[in-house]
Structure 1
Amino acid sequence: MSLTDTAIRNLKPSEKPRKHADGEGLYLLVNPNGSKLWRMKFRFGGKEKTLAFGAYPAVTLKHARTLRDEAKTSLARAVDPSVIVKVEKAQRVAGGNSFKEIAEELLAKKEDEGKAVATMKNKRFYLKFALADLGSRPVDEIRAPEILVALRKLEKREKLATAGRVRAVIGEVFRYAIATGRAESDPTGALRGAIKANKPRHQSAITDANRFGDLLRAIDAYEGRGEGVKVALQLMALLYPRPGELRQAEWKEFDLYNATWTIPASRAKMRRDHKKPLPRQAVALLMGLKQWTGTGRFVFPSERTVTRSMSDMAMNTALRSMGFSKDTHVPHGFRTTASTLLNQTGNFSPDAIEAELAHLDRNTVRAAYNRGAYWEERVRMAAWWANECDRIRLGAEVIQLKEKRALS
C-alpha cells in the first residue's frame, strides 16, 4: 500500500529502524531517533543497491517519487542511478559551472600542488585569451567552434605558438571539468589542425668559439644598466642555467664555501631540486656581487625595488645594446653554446652534459641515478668550461702571441 503525507506524519519511531514501503523500490526508513529517511532499493549488474534521497519533510513524498522515477529511467537506459547521484554531488561540491570558475579552481589546485611560480604565471597568461570569449559560458555548453573563434584571433596576429598553448590550457580546464562531473567531453581535441601550424623557432645562439669570444669580451666591457646585469651575463656564460633560474636566484640557494648552487624545485623547470657545481670564477663573481646585494633576498634585484628580481628583459636589452641581435644570441642561447662546445670536445660524457643542463630523463630511476653518478664529472666539467671561457675570451691571436713569447 502506498504512503500518504498523513500516514507519514503519524509514523512513530520504535526500538529498531523500520522500513515503510511506498512502492517500486521506494520506502521510508524511520529510525529510533525519529529521523525519517527516503531510500530506494534497486538491482544493477546483478547486485542489490540502495539510493538515498534525503530526509522527510525536507524531501516531500511527491519529490521522493519524482527521484524514484528518474532513477527508474536511468535503469531503463542501463545506467546506474547511484553513479548519477555521485556525479551530481561532486558537481555541488566542486562549485560553479562557468569556464572561468572552473579555470580558477584548476589554477588554485595547481598552486596547492606546489607548481612553480613561472608555470602559474604562464597558465594565467594563456588563459586570459580564452576567458575573453569563454569565461562566462557554462563549460558543458561550449563547443569546438566557439573555442576556434578565440584561437583565430591569435592566428590572424600570427601568434601561432601562443594559439597552440591557449588550446592546450583550455583542454586542461575541460579535462578537470570532466573529472569533477561538469563536462562530458573535451572539444579541444577536434581542433587539431584547425589553425595554421607553428614552425618552431630555436633560441638563437653563437656556437662558434671565436664568435663566442667576441661575446664574452663585449660582456666584460659592458657598462650599462648597472653591475648586476653584467655579472648575470657573465654567470650565464659560465653556468648556462635557464635565464629565469638565474634572474630569480636567491642568496640562500648558494653555498659559496662548498661552491654549489641548489636551484629549488619550485623554480626549476623539471620540478625537482637541481644542484650545480660552481667553478672558482663563478664564486669570485658572486663574492664580489654579494657586497652590493648580499643583504637582500635576491642576487639580482630589480633596479626599481629590492622586493622583486631583475626584469626578464634586462639581459636581452643588454645583449641588444652590445650589438647582438635576437637572431644572433639570446640569454637562453648560452645553454646551446655550452652544450655544443662541450660535446665537440669529446672530453665529457653526453649524459653528464645533459645532467648539468637539467634536461629531463623520462626514466625516473635513471634520472635519480644520474644526478649522483655524474656529480664528480660535472664538477670537473664546470672547472674546465670556466677555464675554457677564459681561454676563448683571450682570443686565438692573443694565445698565439703568448705561446710565442713563452718559446722565445
Structure 2
Amino acid sequence: MALKELQIRSLRPTDKIYQCTDDRGLYLEVHPNGSKLWRYKYRHMGKQKRLALGRYPDIGLAEARRRRDDARRKLEAGSDPLAERKHDKLIAAFKAANSFGDVAKEYIDKMVAEGRADTTTTKANWLLEQLAPIASRPVADLKPIDLLAALKRLEAKGKHETARRCRSFASRVFRYAVATGRGETDPTSILRGALIAPKVTHHAAILEPEQVGELLRAIDGYSGHTVTRIAMQIAPHVMARPGELRMAQWPEFDLDGAVWKIPAERMKMRRPHAIPLSRQVLAYLEELHPLTGPEGFVFPAFHTSLRPMSENTINQAFRRMGYSVGEVTPHGLRTTASTLLNESGQWSPDAIERSLAHADANTIRGIYNRGRYWEERVAMHQWWSDHLDAMRDTAVQEEPRRARA
C-alpha cells in the first residue's frame, strides 16, 4: 500500500533499521537515530541495486516519487541511474579539484621539478596571485571574457605590463591543462590585441666613456659593505645578468682556468653559460674569497650566508652613491658593455652576443657559435677589463655626487 504524508510523520524509530514501502521500488528507511531516508530499489543487468533519493522531510513524498520516476525513465532508456550519479559526482569532483589555481600550481611545481630558476618560479607565483579572480573557477569552464575581465582590472590600475605578463602566464597554464586532459582550448589566444600595449622601457645605462670612468671611481670609493662593493666592481667586467651574478656560487668558478661556468637552471635561456675571467676579475675574487668562500654563495645576504644578496642591494648602493634610478642600474651595465664593445669595432657581434648570453635566432648557428667564439671572447673580456680600467684612470676626479648641490 502506498505511503501517505500523515503516516510518514507518525513513523517512530526503533532499535533497528526498518523499511516502509511506497510503490514501484520506492521505500522509506527509518533509522534508530530518527533519520528517514528515501531509497529506490531496482534491478539493472540482473543485479539488485538501490539509489538514495534524499532525506525526509527535506524531500517530501511527492518529490521522492518524482525522483523515482526520473530514475525509472533512465532505466527504460538503458542507463543505470546509480552509475550515472557516480559518474556525475566524479565529474563534479574532477572539476572542483581542477580549478585554474590548482592547475597553475601544478604547472609551477613542474617548473620547479625541471630546475627553473627561483626567480622564475617566484614570478610565476606572483602572477598567479594577480589572477585571483579566476583562480577558483574550473579551468575547463573559463571563457575569454572571464580572463579579459581579470586582466582589465589590472589595466584599470595602470598595470599594463603586469596584465600582459598575466595573459602570457595564463596561456601557458591553459595549454598545460589541455595537454593533461583537463581543458580543451586556450581562451587567451583570441585576446591578443585586446590589452593596452605597455610602453617599452630600457634599463638605465651610462654610455659615455668619461661617465663610465666616473662611475667606476665612485664604485671603488664605496664605503658600504665590502661584499657589495666587490659585487659592483665585478659586475661591469663579466656582463652577467644581475640575478646570475648575485646567485653565483663558489664551486662554479674555476680560478685556475679563469672561467665562470653558470649552470643551465640559473640562465634565462636555460642553457649553461661560460664567462671568461679577466685578470682584474680574478683579483676581485681573490679579495672576496677569504670573506665568503670557499663554498656557498659568492655574494651572500648580510644576515645569512644561506641566501644570496638581495636583488635590490646594488640598486640601493647606486642610490646612496648619488646615482638616480634613471642613470644606472645593474642590468644597464650590460647595455654599457654591449654598446661600447660594438662601437670599438674590434670584436665580432656574435662574440659580444655570446658573452651577453643572448639567444641566437638560429638554433644550429647558436650551438656552433658557442664553441667557435670562445678564444675571441677570452681576449675580448681581457680587453674590456683593461678598457674599463683606462676609462676609470682617465676620468676626472670629482667630489662625491651626494655632496653636490
TM range (shorter): 0.7 to 0.9
Give a deviation string over 1:7-45, Cα, whole Å, max 9, x none. Answer: x89xxxxxxxxxxxxxxxxxxxxxxxxxxxxxxxxxxxx
Cα 1:183–1:285, aligned 2, differ >3 Å: closer, same or farther?
Answer: same
Whole-Å separation in 2 of the counterparts to 1:189 and 1:97: 21
Alignment map for 1:132-281 (pairs within 5 Å): 132-224=132-224, 226-281=225-280
Give a deviation string over 1:42-70, Cα, whole Å, max 9, x none. Answer: xxxxxxxxxxxxxxxxxxx9699438xxx
Cα 1:355–1:63, aligned 2, differ >3 Å: closer, same or farther?
Answer: farther
Q: 1:397: Cα distance to partner?
A: 6.3
Tell me the residue number matched to 1:98.
99
Q: 1:102: Cα distance to partner?
A: 0.9
Cα 1:120–1:91, aligned 2, differ >3 Å: closer, same or farther?
Answer: farther
Q: 1:171: Cα distance to partner?
A: 1.2
Q: 1:144: Cα distance to partner?
A: 2.2
Give a deviation string over 1:316-373, Cα, whole Å, max 9, x none. Answer: 0011111111111110011100111111111111111011111101322211111111
Structure 1 contact 90–180 (Cα < 8 Å) conserved: no
Q: CA RMSD in A?
A: 2.8
| Partner SS for 1:337 | helix
Output the TM-score relative to the length of structure 1.
0.74
Alignment map for 1:64-79 (pairs within 5 Å): 65-66=78-79
Q: Does 1:123 align with 2:124?
A: yes
Give a deviation string over 1:228-256, Cα, whole Å, max 9, x none. Answer: 11111111111111000000000000011
Q: Runs of 5+ in structure 1 lacking a partner?
A: 10-60, 68-84, 399-408
Tell me the residue number matched to 1:309.
308
Q: Runs of 5+ in structure 2 lacking a partner?
A: 1-42, 49-73, 81-86, 398-405
Q: Which amino acid counterpart does residue 115 of structure 2 have in structure 1? A: G
Alignment map for 1:278-289 (pairs within 5 Å): 278-289=277-288
Structure 1 contact 90–181 (Cα < 8 Å) conserved: no
Structure 1 contact 206–329 (Cα < 8 Å) conserved: yes
| Partner SS for 1:309 | coil
Output the TM-score relative to the length of structure 2.
0.74
Whole-Å separation in 1 of the counterparts to 2:195 and 2:168: 13
Structure 1 contact 91–182 (Cα < 8 Å) conserved: no
| Partner SS for 1:266 | helix
Q: Which moved more, 1:161-170 or 1:89-98?
A: 89-98
Q: Which amino acid counterpart does residue 189 of structure 1 have in structure 2? A: S
Structure 1 contact 254–262 (Cα < 8 Å) conserved: yes
Whole-Å separation in 1 of the counterparts to 2:190 and 2:296: 47
Cα 1:180–1:229, aligned 2, differ >3 Å: closer, same or farther?
Answer: same
Whole-Å separation in 1 of the counterparts to 2:44 and 2:336: 84
Q: Considering only CA atoms, is the larger Rg found in Structure 1 or Structure 2?
A: 2
Tell me the residue number matched to 2:371.
372
Aligned-residue sequence identity (percent) comes to 46
Tell me the residue number matched to 1:36.
none
Q: 1:148: Cα distance to partner?
A: 2.3
Whole-Å separation in 2 of the counterparts to 1:338 and 1:63: 79
Whole-Å separation in 2 of the counterparts to 1:397 and 1:102: 58
Q: Which moved more, 1:164-173 or 1:358-367?
A: 358-367
Cα 1:194–1:261, aligned 2, differ >3 Å: closer, same or farther?
Answer: same
| Partner SS for 1:97 | coil
Give a deviation string over 1:57-85, Cα, whole Å, max 9, x none. Answer: xxxx9699438xxxxxxxxxxxxxxxxx9
Cα 1:120–1:387, aligned 2, differ >3 Å: closer, same or farther?
Answer: same
| Partner SS for 1:150 | helix
